[in-house]
Amino acid sequence: MTVAAADRALAVFDLEEHGLDITQLQPFIGAEIGGVDLRKPLTPALRDAIRGLLLKHKVIFFRDQDITPEQQIAFGRNFGELEVHPFIRTEGGYPEIQPVYAQPLHGKPKPAGGYGRADHWHTDTSWRLTPSLGAILHAIDVPPVGGDTIWVNTVAAYELLPQDVKDRIDNLYAIHDAGELKALSSPEKGAEVRRNNPIVAHPVVRTHPETGERALYLNDMLTTQIIGLETKAESDELIEFLLRQFLRPEFQVRFKWRKHSIAFWDNRCTVHYAVNDYGDYPRRMERVAIVGDRPFH
């Protein structure tokens, strides 16, 4: 679905007639969608409208969606095949559901499975040859204060770079290394993950396969080096400069979770950051991820 096709899908689907309420949250990114019950199957027209809203706003949010794992899986399958994560331990007989626990602080034991605290700018599974298309995250237990997540529109972040920087990076590739994942418990575990998931190289600027937009494609922790520069120091300096684009508030939306809130984001043109400001509260989410394709220039 191109940008034009997304606009056509939204034009054909009368949002008000079908009871949908769209609240845009920021000029560059984010919208909250009301008037839809995700416990129920989607009609083809509603599915296309939600996909169009995702392409337009990059991340969309739904409130008060007390869905079961089966319903979350069914919703995700409207948008593609679902991933089974290669090393996150799943539970309850649902291999598509990825538990996302908060890793306790102060030396307390970490629950089995989960990703820990993703307090760094990242796009999911960039260490795979075909990273996720997107993800749907369901809040099960969230702190009363804190624990927000911030998303960044990486298309806007790229478009507003100086032209000389865009010219420099447009054809470069960068290494993404799963062995650097923050959630891994030790260097030995990192080496094991790296053996099973060899490092990959992706474009620093990727083209969105549906909209044709160009977006920065970097991961704060996992992007270890840009290929083709003379020195590692030059690579580190350029990565740091590009990551600073994500800090600009005009490219961001910050979402305050409530129980049974859902976020659905396009992993091809966003990065996100889970704000780590809620102490030892046992924050818990459940996620499904949609199979994507290989990034290209």
Spatial contact of 281 and 257, defined as CB atoms under 8 Å apart: no
Note whether residue 291 is domain-resident: no
Residue tagged active-site, from 48, 124, 220, 266: 124
* Predicted pLDDT at 131: 97
Note whether residue 285 is domain-resident: no
Phi-psi region of 208 (alpha: psi -120 to 50; beta: other; left: phi over 0): beta
Residue 78 has pLDDT above 80, yes or no: yes
272 is catalytic: yes
Residue tagged active-site, from 57, 202, 214, 287: 287
Residue tagged active-site, from 51, 85, 117, 122: 122
Cα–Cα distance measured from residue 70 to residue 199, given in angstroms and rounded to the nearest whole number: 33
* Predicted pLDDT at 263: 98
pLDDT digits (tens, 9 = 90+) for 221-262: 899 999 999 999 999 999 999 999 999 999 999 999 999 999
Give the total number of structural domains in the chain.
1
Note whether residue 289 is domain-resident: no
Note whether residue 263 is domain-resident: yes
Phi-psi region of 162 (alpha: psi -120 to 50; beta: other; left: phi over 0): beta
287 is catalytic: yes
Note whether residue 279 is domain-resident: no
**Residues 6 or more apart from 49 whose CB is under 8 A from it?**
9, 10, 13, 15, 18, 20
CATH number at residue 160: 3.60.130.10
Cα–Cα distance measured from residue 284 to residue 247, given in angstroms and rounded to the nearest whole number: 26
Mean pLDDT confidence for 113-123 = 73
**Domain assignment of residue 234, given as a range:** 3-274
Note whether residue 102 is domain-resident: yes
Give the predicted TM-score (pTM) of the model.
0.91
The 8-class DSSP code of residue 279 comes to: T
Note whether residue 7 is domain-resident: yes
Note whether residue 49 is domain-resident: yes
pLDDT digits (tens, 9 = 90+) for 151-182: 999 999 999 999 999 999 999 999 999 887 76
Spatial contact of 88 and 75, defined as CB atoms under 8 Å apart: no
Residue tagged active-site, from 85, 117, 272, 283: 272
